[in-house]
Amino acid sequence: MNKLITLFLNLFIFFITAPAQAQKAPAIRLFTLMEVVQMAKEQSPTYRYTSVLLENRQWQYKTFKANFLPQLNLNGYLPEYNKNIISVLQPNGSTLPQRNHSASSFMQLSLGQEVWFTGGYISINSNVTRFDDFIKDPGRVPLRYTSVPATVTFSQPFFGYRWLKWENKIQPLRFEEAKRDYWERMEGIAEEATGYFFNLLLSQISYQIATKNVANNEVLYKLAQERFTKGTIPENELLQLELTLMNAQQNLEQTALDVEGSTLRLKVYLGLTDDDPITLLPPGEIPQFEVDEKFALAQAHQNRQRIIAFQRELLEAEQNMARAKGETGVTANLFASFGLNQQAKEVSELYIDPSEQQRLRVGFNIPVMDWGRSEGRLGTAKANQELVKANVEQQRINFDQDIYLNVKRFKVLRNQMVVAKRTDEIAEKRYTLTKERYLDGQIGVLELNVATEERDKATRSYISALRSFWQAYYDLRQMTLYDFEFNQPIIQK
């Protein structure tokens, strides 16, 4: 009976503590390069910043587009109260101080629209005003209403700077720049994630090499101790193996620290906040495709944000020139309005038989003498326009050269990676053969150490070559916004 109770107690304790122990055990996750890149594009802080930046520019463009839509506004004051002494103009031209004790209320509804292609502005307005006179005077009317049931106004400048016309050319280019800049930044995120991935991968590979070297050197040191006891090797070789073992142990501690630091940096970049360890899988197959320099350049011209920026910079230079001309030369302005108005003692009478109101004004400004101010502004704008043209032309040349050189660099790095992989295989095989010869007593420890160093160096060089290739791969995508592997543009409409 006691054994049965003990069995149940043990089972009860096991089922309680097992889940807690399972929760404490860290979950090791395996990530490939593509998975890390995808995570960076979906959840990293850099991705969130890039998304918010695009959203901000979308709202800016939406605000600009609202300039081409009618604007309906309701404004006024309820009320304006005054109790003071004012100067009143008399029929003979003199002024007479009089007491003022009144209140007025005003309300206006207006619908306006920018005429962007002419620079004018047209609006329809309707307003009503109430005036209360609190001074009791038999000759005064204590309450009056005035109204403008409807009036149409039109204002048209001539010879001046038409800002909305120019903005209508430039703002769509800015928005297109923003969209293409978003996709370039996304490929930049992929390239940065690749760098963090290979930093950690190289640290993990170095840690694996260091662990293997410690284990091998421990076996070799024990074997050397036995041979030294038998007198088959000199003490110098034994000491050399002991020193090699100690160095391998120190290197193992350092690589373990490097793995921890690289893991933390990768997690921070990806936005991961857990403490679970990460194990990376080296990329196996590499994408096989050919890249033609002329085709890559054509795609870059078609897709890149910088090409749109060249057009915008030239237009902005023309805009500045137009602004300088419009603000320094002869200007004129036409203002016209036509509508109805009425006054009454009661609100119900305000819209009965209103009278017409018309207004027309033509204003102008002719600079007669400005001591070279206009000439200076025009000359500065012209010089800046020429400077922008020269700068854009040079940037176009540099842009084409960068595309050409990066395509060449991509091809070279792919070939170097193939060579590095073969070198790693040869170095590993040479180390295995050298170790067997050392165990057979055919060679000394120096030859073994050289083979070990060459193997470790070849492995790290191969990982570095992989890193350079993949970063060049994403750099090529970023510089052309074209996926050469699947033969399609990266930009999504």
Residue for token digits 């004790």? 101
- What pLDDT score was predicted for residue 109? 94
- Name every residue whose Cβ is closer than 8 Å to that of residue 144 and which is 6 or more positions away in sequence: 130, 131, 133, 343, 344, 345
The reported pLDDT for the residue numbered 493 is 63
Q: Which pLDDT tens digit goes with each residue over 420-452?
A: 989 989 998 998 888 888 788 788 777 877 888
Q: How confident is the model at residue 26 (pLDDT cuts 50, 70, 90)?
A: low
Instruction: Summarize pLDDT for 132-188 with one digit per residue, the tens.
Output: 888 877 666 678 888 888 899 999 888 888 888 899 999 999 999 999 999 999 999
Position of tokens 């870059």? Answer: 300
pLDDT confidence of residue 14? 41
Kindly list the distances between the CA atom of residue 410 and the CA atoms of 79, 195, 407, in Å, as whole numbers in the listed order: 74, 16, 5
- For 114, the 3-state DSSP assignment is strand
Tell me the C-alpha distance between 261 and 251, whole Å.
15
What confidence score (pLDDT) does residue 25 get? 53
Q: What are phi and psi of 270, to 5 degrees?
A: -80, -10
Whether 3 has a pLDDT exceeding 70, the answer reads no
pLDDT, tens digit, 9 for 90 and up, residues 193-227: 999 999 999 999 999 989 988 988 888 888 888 88
**Domain residue extents for the chain:** 29-60+167-314+386-489, 75-115+120-160+332-366
Asked if residue 335 has pLDDT above 60, the reply is yes
Rounded-to-integer distance, Cα 241 and Cα 216, Å: 11
pLDDT tens digit sequence for 400-410: 999 999 999 99
Q: Residue 50 — pLDDT band, cuts 50, 70, 90?
A: very high
pLDDT in tens, 78-107: 888 998 988 888 888 788 888 888 899 999
Q: Residue 145 in contact with residue 347, Cβ under 8 Å?
A: yes
Q: How confident is the model at residue 10 (pLDDT cuts 50, 70, 90)?
A: very low
Q: Whole-model pTM?
A: 0.81
Could you check whether the bond before residue 138 is cis, i.e. omega within 30 degrees of 0? Answer: no
pLDDT of residue 224: 83
Superfamily designation of domain 29-60+167-314+386-489: Outer membrane efflux proteins (OEP) (1.20.1600.10)
pLDDT in tens, 115-135: 888 888 999 999 999 988 888
Per-residue pLDDT of 454-485, as tens digits, reads 888 898 899 999 999 999 999 999 999 999 99
CA pair distance 313, 307, nearest whole angstrom: 10
Rg (C-alpha) for the chain, rounded Å, is 41
Local structure of 432: helix, strand or coil = helix
* Contact criterion met (CB below 8 Å) for 330 and 366: yes
